[in-house]
Structure 1
Amino acid sequence: MKRLRPRATRDHAAVRQIAGWCLQYPDEAVLGKLGLLRACLDEIAGPGRDELRRTVAYLEQGDPRELASHYIEVFDRKPRRTLHLSWFLDGDTRRRGETLAALRRFYRTHGFSPAENELPDFLPVILEFAAAADPGAAGQVLSRFHPALELLHRNLSTVDTPYRDAVTAVLATLPAVPAPIPADPPAELVGLDPFPTGAGGGR
């Protein structure tokens, strides 16, 4: 018999899954799921639910063209608000390529294959994995990128955007104290260790 996850673990997984959808570009596929996401929020309790309710309500009530414009303005105009989290830890260095390659290997080790057109450090991809993976594997990925999430959250605080609530919801599922948060992405090949590949390494 398959063991059920504890309620808190299931709720955390649901928060991460819903936040991952909310943080994608608001195309027809995303907007078409909002009713389902709202219904899922009704089934969970605990940290992150209220913040995601606000994000879902914003997406439901917004004009699609204005939603798309706002998303691009928030996430695509400034690197400091990018959803590609390895940028916060590695900057534009060769180390970032190493991180992305190691993250892909880690995903494969745990039976997860992101879409070919998405980088593995894209926050909705990370959250999709974290929602589906076992708690240990999810914890490894989220712990690695916890400082990046804190930096993204801090930078979103400088603009008026409901997307900050979605990132707040994700942080609410994590331990209160993250690893040290860098002030700026590194410009040289120094800094944090590459992403751990976990048991089994590559294929």
Structure 2
Amino acid sequence: MSPLPATVPAIVRTRVRAAIRRRAALTPEETAGRALVLRLVSLLLQYPDAEITAARTELTSVVEALPDTPAAAHLAGFTDWFAAQDPEALERHYVEMFDLRRKSGLYLTYYLHGDTRRRGMALLALNQRYAATGWGTDAGELPDHLPVVLEFAALAGPGAGEAPLRQHRRGLELIHRALTDADSPYRHLLAALLTLLPPPTEADLAAVAELAAQGPPNEEVGLDPYGTYGDGEFAPPGTFTPPQQAAPTLAPTARQEDRR
């Protein structure tokens, strides 16, 4: 869609875009295909433990059977690499990309709120969103861990289910940029996800550039009840349990690496 002229009042532009989105409602087949892509990205963004690496042939076959879309092409770019790697090399690369680099970590509220009180509230709000649909996260990960957010989006659908992804679109853009700069094949997974979201606005791109240059907001206190770890760092997975969790629906991650 061509950008609406800047002279059009903001409220009118918003209503026009909303009307276009309503007319472009997805068919059941499109919704199911979208959910499958989200589940694949969720699974492939998890730590490559023995169970996942043992399923690489099957995962590659699923990706090859997807309809010809930009998301499918990006997924194929990842699985071609993923299937050919030594399992130990996969583990090392994953830790380097997601545990040891702040700009490509998978905890979305960090990019929006940084080390501030607002992050703790955002985490609680995500838990409440999940609970309102009767869905519970695995207690081994925070509710803003991207694979968890993706699984919820696949289950709850393109509207409310994908709302957290749209809300954190700038963080997703930054992760993709960081992975691209590192020449990591994981960039293909973020690229596949971004094809499902609205294109970034000029304001989004400017905010991502500023975030890359300056980092998220910082504050010495305020992540209770989730807490911080060490000198302003986030606690590593497994050192806390989010409150009021429902029965888990995702397999616990085997990774217990500290994030720098």
- Are the aligned partners of 1:130 and 1:138 in contact in 2 as well (CA < 8 Å)? yes
Report which of the two structures shows the higher radius of gyration computed on alpha carbons.
2
C-alpha separation in 2, matches of 1:115 and 1:161? 27
Task: Write the deviation string for residues 21-43 of structure 1: whole angstroms up to 9, x where unpaired.
Answer: 11111101211232332232233
C-alpha separation in 2, matches of 1:104 and 1:115? 11
Normalised to the residue count of structure 2, the TM-score between the two structures is 0.67
Counterpart of 1:157 in 2: which secondary structure? helix
Which structure has more RCO (C-alpha within 8 Å, separation ≥ 6)? Answer: 1
Normalised to the residue count of structure 1, the TM-score between the two structures is 0.85
The answer to whether residue 58 in structure 2 is matched with residue 27 in structure 1 is no
The answer to whether residue 205 in structure 2 is matched with residue 187 in structure 1 is no
* Cα RMSD (Å): 2.1
Task: Write the deviation string for residues 53-93 of structure 1: whole angstroms up to 9, x where unpaired.
Answer: 12112221110111101111111111111011111111111
- Are the aligned partners of 1:49 and 1:169 in contact in 2 as well (CA < 8 Å)? yes
Structure 2: which 5+ residue stretches go unaligned? 1-25, 221-245, 247-260
Structure 1: which 5+ residue stretches go unaligned? 190-202
How far apart are 1:158 and its partner, in Å? 1.4
- Residue 96 of structure 2 corresponds to 73
The answer to whether residue 159 in structure 2 is matched with residue 128 in structure 1 is no
- Are the aligned partners of 1:47 and 1:173 in contact in 2 as well (CA < 8 Å)? no
- Residue 86 of structure 2 corresponds to 63
C-alpha separation in 1, matches of 2:73 and 2:111? 27
- Are the aligned partners of 1:20 and 1:123 in contact in 2 as well (CA < 8 Å)? yes
Matched residue type, 2:218: A
The answer to whether residue 153 in structure 2 is matched with residue 144 in structure 1 is no
Seq. identity, %: 38
How far apart are 1:8 and its partner, in Å? 2.6
The answer to whether residue 130 in structure 2 is matched with residue 99 in structure 1 is no
C-alpha separation in 2, matches of 1:94 and 1:57? 41
C-alpha separation in 1, matches of 2:41 and 2:105? 16
State how many pairs are aligned.
187
